[in-house]
Amino acid sequence: MLTTDGYLYLVDRALDGMAATLTGLGDELVNTRPDLPGANSPYAIVTHCLGVMTFWGGQVVAGRAVERDREAEFEATGPVEPLVERLRAVRKQFGADVEAAVPADPPRGVVPPKYRGTPIGETQGVALQHVYEELAQHRGHLDVTRDLLLARRVEDGGAAPSLQ
């Protein structure tokens, strides 16, 4: 069975990777969208992930009222450093929410209609697993977006930043 420490270790790996990608891209590229219909910028992808963590950890699992503008997450822009700082703050609160969770219990807060009657909406544990599902999915999404942006920059005659 997955432990709280094990779960948060996996969450941290996803978030640390996202922070490294954002930092590697820098302020200009982090707000750029790939030339694909409906594509999101790296900044928007990470902002969305923080919204997922805040909503599912805070409202669904912990039972706090959370006001979320999901659509605005995909329009968000800004510099890298404040977003990375926000990532750290959201992670801290999310960790407290995970620590207080009772995985087998039903959610303490309102579950979105789309998830009512599904395993995601039945227990705190599966709701938290849904958060990790979203983080893992969007971590890969972020890396593909980064690769597309760097390839476009090189095609345009610019140098790709060093991503260590």
163 pLDDT above the threshold of 60: no
Whether 78 maps to a domain, the answer reads yes
- Domain membership of residue 55 (yes or no) is yes
User: Looking at the 3D structure of the chain, how many domains does it have?
Assistant: 1
pLDDT at 152 (0 to 100): 85
Query: Does a structural domain hold residue 3?
Result: no
With a CB cutoff of 8 Å and minimum separation 6, the contacts of 29 are 42, 146, 149, 150, 153, 161
User: CA geometry: angle at 63 spanning 61 and 69, to 5°?
Assistant: 90
Question: For residues 81 and 100, what is the distance between their CA atoms, to the nearest angstrom?
Answer: 29
Is 5 inside any structural domain?
Answer: no
Residue 99 C-alpha from the chain's centroid: 19
The 10s digit of each residue's pLDDT in 29-63 is: 999 999 999 999 999 999 999 999 999 999 999 99
pTM over 0.85, yes/no: yes
Query: Hey, what are 29's tokens?
Result: 């590229």
Q: What is the CATH number of the domain that holds 59?
A: 1.20.120
Task: Compute how many other C-beta atoms are within 10 angstroms of the C-beta atom of residue 161.
Answer: 16
Q: Is 80 exposed, middle or buried (0-12, 13-18, 19+ CB in 10 A)?
A: buried
Whether 4 maps to a domain, the answer reads no
User: Would residue 24 count as lying in a domain?
Assistant: yes
Is there a domain that residue 68 lies in? Answer: yes
What's the domain range around 73? 11-31+39-152
Alpha-carbon separation of residue 103 from 37, 57, 107 (angstroms): 39, 12, 9
3-state secondary structure of 75: coil
Q: For 122, how many CA atoms within 13 A lie in the half-sphere containing its CB?
A: 5
Q: Please work out, in degrees rounded to the nearest 5, the angle formed at the alpha carbon of residue 44 by the alpha carbons of 38 and 47.
A: 140
Q: What pLDDT sits at residue 162?
A: 56
Q: Is residue 67 part of a domain?
A: yes
112-154 per-position pLDDT tens digit: 999 999 999 999 999 999 999 999 999 999 999 999 999 987 7
3-state SS record for 24-61: HHHHHHHCCCCCCCCCCCHHHHHHHHHHHHHHHHHHHH
- Residues contacting residue 135 through CB under 8 Å, at least 6 positions apart: 11, 14, 15, 49, 52, 53
